[in-house]
Amino acid sequence: MGVTKDWWPNLRTLALFVAVVEEGSVGAGARRVGMAQSNASRTLAELEASVGLALLERRPAGAVPTPSGRALAGHAREVLESVEGLRDWAIQTGDAPPTRLRVGASMTIAETLLPAWLAAVRARVPGTRIDVSVLNSSQVIDQVQQGHLQLGFVETPHVPVRLHVRVVQEDELLVAIGPHHEWASRTGQISLRELAATPLVVREPGSGTREALQELLAEHVPVEPAQVLSSNAAVRVAVAAGVGPAVLSELALRDHLARGHLLRVPFEGRGITRPLTAVWSGPRRLTGLAGELVAVAAAS
């Protein structure tokens, strides 16, 4: 039938259409916006009829946007982001209750950086409540995708394309040993081959630190770990006790290296850095308390 100047899009319909395009199927898109699949199919058909264009190509494995569908999705995202900004403005300028934010952070960030960021945000925006969940990077990403967390901070570069990201800082990984380890008397560098052949104390699968270690040793076949632990503190204790070397964040090691509880061992090749990244879903432009927190993190 085609669009006239009297046509106004329904925001819930636009949110559904964007979700279907990003998720790759009508069923997944419907679940994301909390709509029954039968209602979603009917709503999408009505949208196509109202604009007079085929927007989705249905396939056995899902739904793919047509060229017109991709263009509409781009415009729809801009509309939804603008509405989100309008809503946040109304909340912040009206008689709304104190702002509340649910944040997830991976271990290193939560232990070393997040407390100062939170203090700075609370000083800027008094009366706020920020609930923090300390998880590994894969768990943070999963919780953000499911909508349980509004914002996450992770240490892995492997972030799904459906999430928005902003790198706020960078971190360096170091090889650490206990003061009585046999490497303590060495003057040369440890090769990556030797590091891969050494049983290490490592973080659990899914942690950003573990993923960074796997990338560092990607050209070698690492032996079985000496121990697998679920926190930086536990890894440091094991290393200090002589269980084995570890590869950890400079942030997580800084104080312990300075006090001589652990020693740093240089390794061959270039040092490895990894991004510390804020992740979120929904509108691309962060506003409100989440925007404040990310701005503080990036400026620290």
In angstroms, rounded to a whole number, what is the distance separating the alpha carbons of residues 113 and 236? 18
Q: What is the largest CA-CA distance in the chain?
A: 81
pLDDT bracket for residue 93 (50, 70, 90): low
Collapsed DSSP state (helix, strand, coil) of residue 93: helix
Residue ranges of domains in the chain = 11-93, 99-300
Residue 91 has pLDDT above 80, yes or no: no
Average pLDDT, whole number, for the chain? 88
Output the pLDDT for position 226: 95
pTM: 0.65
Domain at 11-93, CATH class: mainly alpha
List pLDDT tens digits, range 37-86.
Answer: 888 899 999 888 888 889 999 888 888 999 998 999 999 898 888 887 77
What does residue 25 show for φ and ψ, rounded to 5 degrees? -160, 155
Output the pLDDT for position 250: 92
pLDDT bracket for residue 116 (50, 70, 90): very high
Lowest mean per-residue pLDDT among 106-120, 210-224, 249-263: 210-224
What does residue 188 show for φ and ψ, rounded to 5 degrees? -90, 180
Of 269 and 121, the one with more pLDDT: 121
CATH 3.40.190.290 fits 99-300, yes or no: yes
Output the pLDDT for position 97: 46
